[in-house]
Amino acid sequence: MIILASASATRAAILRNAGVEFEAMPAHIDEAAIKHAGAAAGEAPGAVAQTLARLKAQRIAARLPDALVIGADQILSVGDVWLDKPESVTEAADHLRRLRGQTHTLHTAVCCLRDRQMIWQHVATPTLTMRAVPDDFIADYLAAEGDDCLSSVGAYRLEGRGIQLFERIDGDYFSILGLPILPLLGFLRQHGTLR
C-alpha cells in the first residue's frame, strides 16, 4: 500500500497521472513553526523542506507502519526571504510583486518511509525567473485565477496561465508543481513497488 501524506490536489494528480495506485492522507503538522525554527537556526531552505516532508510522512507512518508513505513539501526562496502560500488574493499580489523581475528557487523535497524508517529522500531545486510584469497584469492574472492562486507558495500555477509570468525556467516541471516524480518513480521501481 502506498500513502501520499499530503492534502495537495496537484501532487495527487501527478501521482495518479503517472499510474501509481495510492491513497492520499493529509498529515497535519505545524509547518509555520517548523519553518520559523529552521530559519532561526540558519538551516538551508532545502533542509527545512526535507524536514517538513519527513515529519508529514512520519505522522502517517505512525498509524500505518506497513505502508510505504510518501512525504513531500516545498519552500520558495527569493534571496534570503522564504515565502509561504498566500492566505488572501491581496497577499498573493504582494508575493507576485516581490517575485517580478527576480529569480527565485523552489526547494522541493520528497521522501519515502516504510516501517517508520526513512528509506529514500530527494530534493530538487528548480529556479524560475519572473518577467517584470506591471501591476495591471498581476491584477488581471489574479482576477482570472481567483482563489486557485492560494494553493501555491509563489501564488502562480504553471499548469495554467501562470506560465505567462515567466521569462525563464530551469529545472524539472513536476518539481515546480511540488513533486519530483521522475526520481520518485525510479525509487519505486528500484524498491519493487512499481515495474
Q: Is 136 a catalytic residue?
A: no
Phi, psi of 15 (to 5 degrees): -65, -45
Among 30, 66, 73, 136, the active-site one is 73
Phi, psi of 171 (to 5 degrees): 130, 175
> Which residues are tagged catalytic?
73
